Structure 1
C-alpha cells in the first residue's frame, strides 16, 4: 500500500559541483546537521546522478552529511517516507534490520523525509519522531521536494535500490514484498563483491503501530478531514470552509462514513476543534484505526477519550489509549487508537476531546 502525491512536473537531476571542500557544521536544531551545497567537482564527478543528488542535500538528521566516500562503491537503499504516514511507519522494522544486518557488507540506508503535512516540515518534530520510532540511520529533510523530484518519486513509502555502479537497479512503491527486497539487497551486494551475503532471509516483525497490517480484514482506507481532500463526510451540516460551525454527529453512518460533533473550524488540510467536548465519529472495518492529530499548542496537552460502539474499548484499545479509552494528545503525530483483539467487525469509533485546540488531519487503518 502507498500514499500517492500528484505531481504536475518532475524535475531532472540537478548536479551542482563547485570547487570547494565539504563543510560540516552543527545547526541550532538538536540532532540536525547542515552542509555547504558546494561539493568538490573532482570528488563528485565519478558518482552517478542519483548519488550526486543525495550529496547536494543540505539538512541531515541523526548523522553528518553524506560524503562521496560514504557512497562510492556501496550498495545504497534510498527510502522516501514521512513520519505520520502509517504505510511508512510499518516499513521501519525492515529498514532497521537491513541496515544493521548488511552494514558491514557495504549497504548504506538513506532515508528521505519528504513531508505531507505542514507540521512534518519542522525539524524538531521530525527529530522527536526519529527517537520515538527508533530510526538509527541517516535521514535527510526534503521540505522543498528537491530529492523527491530528482528521483521522479510518486508516493510514500518508496524504495530505490542503487547498485555499486551508482545506477538505480530497482524501485518499489508501497509497503510489502519484503523477502524479495532483501533478496535484491543480497544480489546487489554480491555483485559488489561481498562474500558474506548468503544470510538467511528471516521474518521481521514490528510491534504497536509498526506491526504489519491485517490485509485480509482491511475494509477502510485513508480518509482526510480537511476539506481539500475529504471524503465520506456524513454530518447533516455541510462544511463551512475556513470558518467555525457547530456540527452534529451522524446518527447511523454507513461503513467508511464519518462526521464531526461540536464546534469545529474546517480548513483545507485539517479541522480544528473550537470548544470542549468536540468529537469525531467514524464507522470503519479494520483491525487498527489511527488518527493523525496535533495540539494547537505543544505546551498544553489535551486529554481525549475513545469509545467503540458507545463503550470503552477494553482489549481493543490501541497503543495510544488505555482499556478505558483515555489518551493524551501531546505531539504532532499519528496516534494508534484502536487495535481489535478478536474478530474484526464493523465498529463505530468516537473520540471526544476535553479541551479545544485539537487539529485533526487524517484517519488511516491497518
Structure 2
C-alpha cells in the first residue's frame, strides 16, 4: 500500500512540472461542459490509456513501439482537428478524410456549449485517451522505479496498478485545476459575455500544445526546466521507505569513496574493487560506433554511462560526461553510453539518433532496449556511472547528478594507474 500512495503522490507532483503544460489545454478544451459527463470521463481516459501504454511499452517488442508511434500521430491529428474546430467550427465543412472527420465531430461537439450530444461521456473519454497517448511526464525516481520493475520482471497486475496510481495522482491534480477553470469560465461568461473568445483562446492553446508535443518540447526543452525539488522529495521518500538492496553496487560502503578535497597535491582516492566489468552483450544496436565487446576495451579505462534521452537528470549530467570524453579520449579513456529507455518512444532508434544530434553525443552508444546490459550491471537508476580500470575491474560507481569533480579525479587516477601498471594479457 505504501508504494501505491507514493506513486499517487509522485503523479500529483507532475502538475508542477513544465512538461505537463502541453496536455493542459486538451483538458481545458472541455471546460465549458459539466464535469461529471465531460471532465471526469476525459481524465479517466487519460489515466487508463497512459497506464496501459506505459505497461505495454515497458516489456513488449518493437511492434508495440511502432504501434505507440502510430497512436501518437493519430492522437496529434485528432487533437489538432479539435483545436481548429474550437477556433473556427465552419472548418468542419471542409473535412474530407475519415480521421479528420471524426476529429471534427468531436471538436464541433466540444465547441458548442449549448449543443446536444448523443453520448458526451464517450466523446470525452476518447479525447482523454488521445491525451493519454501523448502525455510523457518528466519521469522522476518513483516512475523510473516502476518502469524499471516492469521491464526487468515482465508484465504484472501489480506494476500496471502502480502505473495507474501514478496516472490517477496526475489527473487528480488536473481535476482540481479543471474545477477552478470551470468556475472561472462560468463567471466570466456570465459577467462579461466572453465565452466565445475564451473558446477560441482554448483552441489556440490546444494547437500550441499539439505543436509542442510534435516538436518534442515536452520531452526536451520543457523537461529540462522541471523543478528539482519534486525529484528530491521523491528520492527522499524512496530512500526512507525502500532501502537499497545489499547486492547492488550502489549499496556498497561509500566511506572510502568520498574524501575532503585538499588544496594540492590532491590525495589519492581509496578505490576498492567492486567486481569485474560484466560483458557488454544484448544491445539491439549501436550508434556512433560499431558494436563493442569487453575484449575491445581491454587495457582501456572505461566510463559506462546508463542514461536515456528523456531523463532530465541524464541531460544535466551529459555535458560533464561529454567533456571527459573530449579531454581524456586520447589518454586511454573510453566513454560508453548505454541508452536504456524508460518510455516506449525512447526505444525508437530514429528518436535516439535525433537526440544524439540535438544533445551533441559523440561517444559510442549501445541501445539497451531489452535491459540486457542494465541487468548485467545490476543497475537500478538513471543516470548511473560505472568507472572501470584497465584491468576490467569496476572501481567506482555514482548514481544521479553531482560529484563531478570527484568523478573526474577517479578518471585521472585510473588513467595514471593504467600508465604505471602492466596491462592484462
TM-score (norm 1): 0.40
Judging by fraction of residues, say which structure has more helix.
2
TM-score (norm 2): 0.35
Judging by fraction of residues, say which structure has more strand.
1
Q: Mark the structure with the bigger radius of gyration.
A: 2
